[in-house]
Structure 1
Amino acid sequence: MNDFPPADAAPHAAPTPARLPIAFTAFHDLHAQRYTDYAFAHLGEAGMVRDLVDDVFVALADHWDRVLAQPRPAAYAWALLRRVVEAECARREEHLALIEEAAFAYALIERAKRLLALVDGSTVDDLGVGISVARAIQKLPGRQHDVVVLRFLAGYPPTHIAEVMGIEEATVRSLISQARTRLQTRLAPRRTLTSGRPHDEE
């Protein structure tokens, strides 16, 4: 997470704590960095991300009673963040894609090494592979996509992912397992293309 912007770096951050319920302030303090990291993984622009996350927390503050009335407030808030990030990606014609420009793919090389090691035992060692990994992650469905971004790109442990998404830790681990299976399928041709040998050849 070292290259992700700090959530408190914004010149105007979420509403003034003195005017907000203690529960909201605690919620903000717990999740602001996680929201920032998730949004940054998709948008890659620190200033835009800080403004976007601020807007999400302002909306949550304005309807805090409604948030607390939900069976899973964290899941309700996460769904709002995800919709806002999705809308911004769609506005930029990226449709929830991780940024595929060369600069992002190059940065992804370091962050994706552990993920690829878990998926097929190989490593990321060139820009083209970085782009292929970004595209494979992009195509993961909903919550599988989210847990992969939070776990392998932002570096959060399953317990923190469960907190921020408002789901059970066992669900997080199951989603990671499902995502790995999908990625294995999507990335199988990559080894043939980059190494000149079949995927199952050792």
Structure 2
Amino acid sequence: MSVEFAAFCELHEPRYQSYARVWFPEHGAAHRVVRLALHAIAEVWPTVLESSNPAAEAWQILRDTVTAEHAAEAGETGLRPDVDRDEDLAILHYVVGLATPEIADVMGGDTANITSQLRQTHRRRATDW
């Protein structure tokens, strides 16, 4: 494991775990899914680092892993995390409790854009309620 990847894991794994627990309430399942995602990221780590936005690339791998693993359990629950970016932002902010700079860091976005998207999502959701 490279020093860069170890640092990435140390920074992002706790946030990834918090996000995964939304979809996998059992701690062991959330932990397993995040480990799968980190393993998938490690397999393509040089490509992730070479991308224009490594955090966004890694976040997409996490989301793909969460979706695939949750779909595998869908027969039991009937639920799938078919959420879009706005819903991910809302989950990270309102459920996980991350501030916008932390969300920007974990998802690979710009803090100002994240703040704007959260406001828009909140306004849209409020009209749906």
Alignment TM-score, normalising by the size of structure 2 = 0.91
Q: Helix, strand or coil for the counterpart of 1:88?
A: helix
CA deviation map 1:127-154 (0-9, x unaligned): xxxxxxxxxxxxxx51111111111111
Residue 95 (structure 1) aligned with residue 37 (structure 2): no
Would you say how many aligned residue pairs link Structure 1 and Structure 2?
Answer: 125
Q: Any stretches of 5+ residues in structure 2 without a counterpart? A: none
Partner residue of 1:78 out of 47, 53, 59: 59
Q: Which runs of 5+ in 1 are unaligned?
A: 1-19, 98-140, 188-202
What displacement does 1:171 show? 1.3
Query: Which of 70-79 and 82-91 deviates more?
Result: 82-91
The answer to whether residue 46 in structure 2 is matched with residue 65 in structure 1 is yes
Offset, 1:86? 1.5
TM-score by length of 1: 0.59
Distance (Å, rounded) in 1 between the aligned partners of 2:40 and 2:65? 11
Whose helix proportion is higher, 1 or 2?
A: 2
**Offset, 1:55:** 0.9
Q: Report the CA distance between 1:42 and its aligned residue.
A: 1.7
Q: How far 1:167 moved relative to its partner?
A: 0.6
AA aligned opposite 1:45: E
**Runs of 4+ residues deviating >4 angstroms:** none
Tell me the equivalent position of 2:31: 50
- Alignment partner of 1:177 out of 105, 110, 119: 119
2:51 is paired with a residue of what secondary structure?
Answer: coil
1:9-55 deviation digits (Å, cap 9, x = unpaired): xxxxxxxxxxx111101100000011111111122121111011011
Q: Which structure has the bigger radius of gyration?
A: 1
Q: Match of 1:35?
A: 16
With a CA cutoff of 8 Å and minimum separation of 6, indicate the structure with the bigger relative contact order. Answer: 2
User: Quick one: which of 130, 135, 149 aligns to 2:91?
Assistant: 149
1:158–1:173: 8 Å Cα contact kept in structure 2?
yes
C-alpha displacement of 1:90: 2.4
Q: Post-superposition shift, 1:155? A: 0.6
Q: Distance in 1 between matches of 2:43 and 2:84?
A: 27
Mapped partners of 2:28, 2:56: distance in 1: 25
Percent identity over the alignment is 34
Shift of 1:159: 0.5
Three-state SS of the structure 1 residue aligned to 2:80 is: coil
- Alignment partner of 1:84: what SS? helix
| Contact preservation (8 Å) 2:36, 2:65 | no
